[in-house]
Structures are given as C-alpha cells and as structure tokens.
C-alpha cells in the first residue's frame, strides 16, 4: 500500500491488515508505520522459535504531548475467528512479543475486525477519494472560489449539514454537484469537522475547524469581505 508515513509502500497479508494500514494512514496522531518491522526470536523447550508482528506504529509529537506515556506499538492484526481457532499456537508468540516490548520500551496490541471494520473505516475509505490528487487538473481560480464559498458560508452558518450548506450557497442543483467534492475534500483536510464514527450522509452535522482570523488571512475578494463582516459583528479585530 502506498503511504506518506513510511520510506516505501507497505506490504499487507490480508484485506483486514490492509484496512488497518488505511486507518493508520488517515490517523493524524500517527507519524509513521512499517509492516513486518522485526522478527522476534526465542527458545522454547530447546527449539528456536520466531515471530514477526504485523505492524510497528510510531506517534507524532502532538500525540505524545497529549498522551506522554504512549509508546511505539507493535500490532498483530487477526480476525477473531483465527485467534480462537489458533490460540494455543499464537499465545507463545504473543508472550514473546510482550517480553520483547518490555525490554525495548514498546507496547504490544492485538487488533481484530471488531476494532477495524466500523463505520469510521467506511468513512475513511470514502474520504480517501477526495485527496489533492483528485483536484490536480482543476482550474485554480474555480477551485479557490469553490473552497472560499464553502469555507466562508460554513463559518457564517456554524453547525449545519452538507445539504444545508449547499442550499445556502446556491439553489442551482448543478452547482451543488460541483461543490460537493470540495466539501468532502475539506473534511479530509481537517478544515471541516464531522463525527467520523457515524456514517457520512448529506444530513451529517458539520462545522468549521478554522478560525475567522485564519480564513480572513487566506481569502480574498467577497469571501474575505464576508468573513471580516462576521468578525466585526463579534468585535474581533483582524489586520486588513
């Protein structure tokens, strides 16, 4: 899987592991991750044993500031049915991983489909369609105007829905179809807030994650004027 959080594309052994890597790619608290990063070796009853965990995850400085006891984590990704079926074989491997992690100041965790395959994953898969690459051939002025309209109107409305936001911007249904991808793009870019633990719909509550000052500094024309009027109405001063 291609990633921005590793030195090369990361391999995966199952669709469940692929889904887990996708969650890590989207997680802003994860700085980098690596598939099959190490092989742990130990002896048991005179025989040499080995075990390779699925993924090593490291966290961002911001995440560590919020959770100072958080450590790099080795993850094993397994379906619950396989864990139950092969537990007697897997248990010694997991115990070896726990001992290794204690020695090297890491954590060991097992994740299953119960944690991975949730509405959150479905939302992430949907939003991954709306990265910067989707808009690389878009006309810059058109793109800037679309995002400016969405950002300024959303800031004015406060908490709303994608449907209400579009209807406030314009009554033109064709224009709605043009603007909607930019809404999802701004959700992916963390400019628009939404509860990703619930399935995304046109009625999902959304809100701006940008301050009025940030918006006023980055925008021009009518969108900047709109933001300044809102800020002035709330007695917030911004350099012009």
pTM of the model: 0.79
Q: Given this model, what pLDDT does residue 235 score?
A: 46
List phi, psi (to 5°) of 207: -155, 160
Residue 9 CB-density burial (10 A; 0-12 exposed, 13-18 middle, 19+ buried): exposed
Q: Which fold has domain 15-117?
A: Trna Endonuclease; Chain: A, domain 1 (3.40.1350)
pLDDT range class, residue 96, cuts 50, 70, 90: very high
Number of H helices and number of E strands within the chain? 11, 8
**Cα 80 to Cα 199: distance, rounded to the nearest angstrom:** 24
Banded model confidence at residue 47, pLDDT cuts 50, 70, 90: confident
Higher pLDDT, 36 or 222: 36
pLDDT, tens only, 129-188: 998 888 776 766 677 788 888 998 999 899 999 999 999 999 999 999 999 999 999 999
Look over the chain and give the mean of its residue pLDDT values, rounded to a whole number.
87
Give tens-digit pLDDT for 180-230: 999 999 999 999 999 999 999 999 999 999 877 777 666 665 666 665 665
Range list of β-strands (E), 139-235:
192-194, 206-208
Q: Which of 57, 53, 17 is nearest to 38 (CA)?
A: 53
- What are the domain boundaries of the chain? 15-117, 121-233
Which class is domain 121-233?
mainly alpha
Looking at residue 133, its pLDDT comes to: 82
């Amino acid at each position: 899987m291609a990633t921005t959080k590793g030195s090369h594309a990361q391999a995966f052994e199952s669709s469940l592991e692929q889904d887990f890597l996708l969650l890590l790619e989207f997680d802003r608290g994860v700085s980098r991750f690596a598939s099959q990063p190490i092989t742990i070796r130990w002896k048991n009853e005179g025989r040499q044993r080995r075990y390779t965990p699925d993924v090593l995850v490291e966290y961002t400085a911001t995440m560590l500031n919020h959770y100072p006891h958080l450590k790099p984590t080795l993850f094993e990704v397994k379906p619950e049915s396989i864990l139950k079926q092969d537990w007697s074989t897997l248990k010694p491997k997991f115990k070896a991983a726990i001992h290794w992690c204690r020695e090297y100041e890491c954590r060991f965790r097992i994740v299953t489909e119960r944690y991975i395959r949730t509405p959150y994953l479905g939302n992430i898969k949907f939003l991954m369609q709306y990265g910067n690459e989707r808009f690389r051939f878009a006309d810059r002025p058109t793109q800037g105007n679309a995002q400016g309209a969405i950002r300024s109107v959303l800031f004015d409305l406060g908490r709303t829905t994608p449907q209400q936001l579009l209807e406030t911007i314009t009554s033109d249904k064709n224009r709605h179809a043009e603007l909607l991808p930019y809404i999802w793009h701004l959700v992916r870019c963390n400019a628009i807030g939404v509860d990703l633990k619930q399935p995304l719909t046109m009625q999902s509550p959304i809100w701006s994650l940008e301050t009025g000052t940030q918006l006023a500094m980055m925008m021009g024309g009518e969108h900047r004027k709109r933001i300044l009027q809102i800020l002035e109405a709330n007695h917030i001063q911004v350099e012009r």
